Structure 1
Amino acid sequence: MNIEQVKSSTYRITLHTYELAALVSAARWAVDGAEGELPREARQQLSQILAGYDAKMEQMSKPEAKS
């Protein structure tokens, strides 16, 4: 995952195919009523994506990252 801040309120996010697939799957699951349990593999993928997202956002919030 790569996150770039293009403007103050615009970001460019580059995702691996599997990262995008996990996000779309989770969104579909949530939209379809989120009944039942999310498969373990999907939870793991989403956890990894969220960890990458959080790390990039933290990195971008540091003053030296914006120069």
Structure 2
Amino acid sequence: MEFWLRLARSRIAKDVKAGRGDVHIGFALVCRLFITAMDKRAEGDGRIWSDLLQYAEQVVAKHPPRH
């Protein structure tokens, strides 16, 4: 987890320097989505979590992340 957080922070800083400040909004929304999915799963509703994982797997399979 620490690796991905450091990588995300570095990439966000580069995007901000390149004038793409909306990266903060995107990251915040992704974090809120992740937390919402975890909360709903803890409440017994795993649909958002399942959908999130399925979508993420599809995107990453088509567009593997660069390291």
Given the two structures, how large is their TM-score scaled by the length of structure 2?
0.40
Higher helix share: 2
Higher strand share: 1
Question: RCO greater where, 1 or 2, for CA within 8 Å and sep 6 or more?
Answer: 1
Given the two structures, how large is their TM-score scaled by the length of structure 1?
0.40
